[in-house]
Amino acid sequence: MSDLPPPSGGNNNDDGAGRLPRASGPAVLAARIRATPEDFRVDEVPGFEPSGSGEHLLLDVEKRGMNTAFAARHIAAWAGVPESAIGYAGLKDRHAVTRQRFSVHLPKRSAPELATLERDEAGEHLRVLGHAWHSRKLPRGALAGNRFVLVLRELQGDRAAIDRRLEVIATRGVPNYFGEQRFGRGGDNLTHALAMFAGRRVGREQRGMLLSAARSEMFNRVLAARVQSGDWDTGMAEGEVWMLDGSRSVFGPEPLDEALAARVAAFDIHPTGPLWGRGDLRCTGPVAALEQATLADGTAMRVREGLEKAGLKQERRALRLRPADLSWDWLSPDALRLEFTLPAGTYATVVLAELGEIRVP
């Protein structure tokens, strides 16, 4: 067993050691999510328009009861191509109804009948919503974001307090933690990452997953410290590195003057935290001191060393996440529907966690 604290991807409970702190105060509800797949709907927001020609068939599909990897295998078998010929921008869960795009490399050949791709059996379905040709394989991350429609059931909590918390989230945002999906069930990815850093051999695909989990743990620790210090969404006076909203472009360090404070308030820029790797931290002064102190225990030092030896470079990630077009509707006294859009690489579960304790089947 490792000496890691409880996994950063776990329930966002501020009552126990090692848990991720909420920025808006104690939990205001307890509820259940994913009572049925229809209670967790996700639609990808495409990052580009198809070129209209090329060797890659883009398929926009709706699926229920199957994750992205399963759907990719199903599409590969339908097309008679290896799984490596299938591309997709993001991973989607099995216990949901999701709409996402896949690409199929079909050089010098026509596609099979689309009707034969559709599947509807044993709680699993896949249907084709649209298709087009494109010049390149669909790479990971090639989406503008995801639109979520979520239903919380068996809800307990004061309705007025929940409405107030949602209003705060809509105007202030939430800490941009990495979600529980990054860490695996029970946080096992973190344990396996430490074992890999100690010399255990793993496959290439697993190696990438474990490096991401370890890096995400470091970021979540720093963000948790910034939430506790109260400057996660405003920035410190000195030493902060800033990220432009809607991009990965960063600048600084620059002191928080009146002009920058106005841009922060307008959600044009965000304070950032470290995605650990080789090289010096870009931040300076009190920001760098906080990040170094937060990641100075024995476990964190082993993770930092492992990430550096793996060749990753220092990068930054926004500390703040604001759901776009957040709306909610009370379906009954104990059922609440939420709708919002998030940029790629962020997690609906961290939005839910800012509300309270969310149970899954």
Q: 318-336: string of b/e by CB count within 10 Å (b at 16+)? A: bbbbbbeebebeeeeeebb
How far apart are the C-alpha atoms of 174 and 168, rounded to whole Å? 9
- Residue 14 among the catalytic residues: no
DSSP for residue 338: E
- SS3 state at 224: helix
How far apart are the C-alpha atoms of 267 and 269, rounded to whole Å? 5
Contacts of residue 250, Cβ cutoff 8 Å, sequence gap at least 6: 241, 242, 243, 244, 272, 282, 316
Structure-block tokens of residue 170? 């809509």
Catalytic site residue from 43, 60, 93, 334: 93
How far apart are the C-alpha atoms of 42 and 349, rounded to whole Å? 12
Sign of the alpha-carbon torsion through 220, 221, 226, 229: positive
CB-CB contact of 18 with 121 (8 Å): no
Q: Write the single-letter amino acid at 24.
A: S
How far apart are the C-alpha atoms of 348 and 147, rounded to whole Å? 10
How far apart are the C-alpha atoms of 343 and 28, rounded to whole Å? 25
CA 21 to chain centre: 18
Query: Which candidate, 356, 328, 316, 321, places its Cα nearest to that of 342?
Result: 321
Beta strands in the chain (DSSP E): 29-32, 40-46, 56-64, 86-88, 97-105, 119-121, 124-134, 143-156, 174-175, 242-244, 250-251, 269-275, 315-318, 320-321, 324-332, 335-343, 356-359
Active site residues: 93
